[in-house]
């Protein structure tokens, strides 16, 4: 859908500095296309590097009109709402963007195309609803268990714990080493960045395992397949981890955790258990006590962006001592310590 020549405006209204902006932040970090601006009236007039951990000199503007004047022809909706529902207040933004000739990338469950296609004014315009399944898969049958490659699944202690980010960092690390590597995107962010994948949470539960399995088999010739994780087995609002485990039959896993968090962020009455015990639980679930291939967590990827460097390094050492596993913040300090376990 998106072409390499498309110029992007990332819409981040009031979410540039919170967890709901993860699609936009990931696009700003990893999308190959040129991003000409961020739209957020809260921070307009500033540069992205002034208000974000992403050190890129991208201007922040306050309107669609400004983005269009800079040469943007695609509006990427960088905010992901709870449940993937589109707020009514967005409608005027979508209509204005389309009427000004911009295409739209939407990562919400609520599709934009059915309601807003009528506002398209140019022949080459489009609306990409990334969370729409492209096929109905067969029921999963553990075909991945018979493959001879490595399959690495990102798991987390919470939602938005860095699973996609760590997966893409690992992919970059392995491809730089000329290792034949595949990446299975399973959410709207990964699909937008890589241009392919399965929107796992848009599939019916009966189809979820088969969708993952199909994506794995499609890349069976790869020496290592990285599987973008979703949700957490700990979260009461998530059912995604188990289909990923069954469909991918992972041989290895990387645990993603937000440093210092002791409870889930959106469900604070749920405590995050001891990491060593949580890792053991995930390993047992993945292998079903030896029925499926053994799957081991090879390291812990920590998000320490709210900590000073000194505090972050101290926390990393603490986690390593408690779990006996290599740990680091792969964005901040590089991932070699963990990623080298897979080579």
3-state secondary structure the chain: CCCCCCEEEEECCCCCCCHHHHHHHHHHHHCCCEEEEEECCCCCCCEHHHHCCCCCCCEEECCHHHHHHCCCCEEEECCCCHHHCCCHHHHHHHHHHHHCCCEEEECCCCCCHHHHHHHCCCCCCCEEECCCCCCCCCCCCCHHHHCCCEEEEEEECCCCCCHHHHHHHHHHHHHHCCCCEEEECCCHHHHHHHCCCCCHHHCCHHHHHHHHHHHHHHCCCCCEEEECCCCCCCCCCCCCHHHHHHHHCCCEEEEEEECCCCECCCCCCCECCCHHHHHHHHHHHHHCCCCCCCCEEEEEEEECCCCCHHHHHHHHHHHHHHHCCCEECHHHHCCHHHHHHHC
In the block, tokens 């709870």 appear at: 82
Average pLDDT of the chain? 96
In the structure, what pLDDT confidence band is assigned to residue 19 with cuts at 50, 70 and 90? confident
What do you get for the CA distance between the two ends of the chain, in Å?
Answer: 34
In the structure, what pLDDT confidence band is assigned to residue 44 with cuts at 50, 70 and 90? very high
Domain 143-342: give its CATH code: 3.40.50.300
What was the pLDDT predicted at 109? 95
User: What tokens were used for 331?
Assistant: 């964005």
* Range 96-109 average pLDDT: 98
Domain 7-129: give its CATH code: 3.40.50.720
* Range 93-107 average pLDDT: 98
- Same CATH topology for 7-129 and 143-342: the answer is yes
Measure the CA–CA gap between 123 and 250, rounded to whole angstroms.
44
In sequence order, what are the residues at sequence separation of 6 or more whose Cβ sits closer than 8 angstroms to the Cβ of residue 142? Answer: 213, 246, 249, 292
**For the chain, domain boundaries:** 7-129, 143-342
Measure the CA–CA gap between 180 and 94, rounded to whole angstroms.
40
What was the pLDDT predicted at 188? 94
Taking alpha carbons only, the member of 48, 27, 29, 26 closest to residue 37 is: 48
- Report how far Cα 306 is from the mean position of its chain's Cα atoms: 19
Query: Cβ atoms within 10 A of the Cβ of 48, count?
Result: 24
Which tens digits make up the pLDDT trace of 70-81?
Answer: 999 999 999 999
User: Does residue 17 register a pLDDT over 90?
Assistant: no
* Range 85-95 average pLDDT: 96
pTM for this prediction: 0.94
The sign one gets for the Cα dihedral 164, 170, 176, 178 is negative
Taking alpha carbons only, the member of 22, 29, 123 closest to residue 77 is: 22
In the structure, what pLDDT confidence band is assigned to residue 201 with cuts at 50, 70 and 90? very high
User: Does residue 53 register a pLDDT over 90?
Assistant: no
In the block, tokens 């540069």 appear at: 47
Contact yes or no for 256/154 (Cβ under 8 A): yes
User: Does residue 11 register a pLDDT over 90?
Assistant: yes
What was the pLDDT predicted at 279? 98
User: Does residue 289 register a pLDDT over 90?
Assistant: no
What was the pLDDT predicted at 82? 81
Contact yes or no for 169/180 (Cβ under 8 A): no
In sequence order, what are the residues at sequence separation of 6 or more whose Cβ sits closer than 8 angstroms to the Cβ of residue 173? Answer: 335, 336, 339
Which tens digits make up the pLDDT trace of 305-339?
Answer: 999 999 999 999 999 999 999 999 999 999 999 99
Percentage of the chain surpassing pLDDT 70? Answer: 100
What was the pLDDT predicted at 132? 95
Which tens digits make up the pLDDT trace of 124-182?
Answer: 999 999 999 999 999 999 999 999 999 999 999 999 999 999 999 999 999 999 999 99
* Range 243-256 average pLDDT: 98
């Amino acid at each position: 859908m998106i072409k390499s020549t498309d110029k992007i405006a990332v819409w981040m209204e009031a979410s540039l500095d919170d967890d709901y902006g993860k699609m936009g932040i990931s696009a700003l970090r990893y999308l190959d296309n040129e991003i000409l601006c961020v739209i957020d009236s809260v921070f307009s007039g500033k540069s992205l590097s002034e208000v974000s951990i992403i050190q890129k000199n991208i201007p922040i503007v306050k309107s669609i009109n400004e983005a269009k004047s800079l040469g943007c022809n695609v509006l990427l909706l960088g905010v992901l709402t709870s449940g993937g529902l589109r707020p009514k207040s967005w409608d005027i933004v979508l209509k204005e963007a389309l009427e000004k000739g911009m295409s739209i990338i939407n990562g919400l469950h609520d599709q934009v195309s059915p309601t807003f296609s009528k506002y398209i004014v140019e022949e080459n315009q489009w609306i990409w609803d990334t969370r729409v399944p492209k096929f109905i898969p067969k029921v999963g049958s553990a075909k991945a268990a018979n493959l001879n490659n490595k399959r690495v699944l990102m798991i987390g202690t919470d939602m938005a714990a860095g699973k996609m980010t760590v997966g893409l960092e690992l992919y970059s690390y392995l491809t730089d080493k000329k290792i034949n590597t595949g990446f299975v995107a399973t959410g709207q962010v990964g699909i937008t960045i890589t241009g392919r994948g399965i929107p796992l949470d848009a599939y019916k539960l009966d189809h979820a395992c088969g969708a993952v399995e199909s994506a794995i088999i499609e890349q069976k010739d790869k020496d290592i397949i990285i599987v973008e994780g979703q949700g957490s087995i700990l979260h009461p609002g998530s059912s995604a981890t188990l289909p990923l485990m069954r469909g991918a039959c992972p041989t290895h896993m990387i645990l993603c955790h937000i440093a210092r968090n002791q409870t889930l962020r959106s469900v604070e009455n749920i405590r995050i258990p001891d990491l060593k015990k949580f890792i053991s639980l995930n390993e047992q679930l993945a292998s079903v006590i030896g029925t499926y291939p053994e799957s081991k967590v090879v390291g812990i990827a920590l998000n320490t962006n709210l900590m000073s460097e000194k505090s972050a390094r101290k926390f990393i050492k603490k986690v390593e001592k408690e779990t006996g596993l290599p740990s680091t913040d792969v964005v901040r300090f590089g991932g070699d310590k963990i990623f080298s376990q897979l080579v």
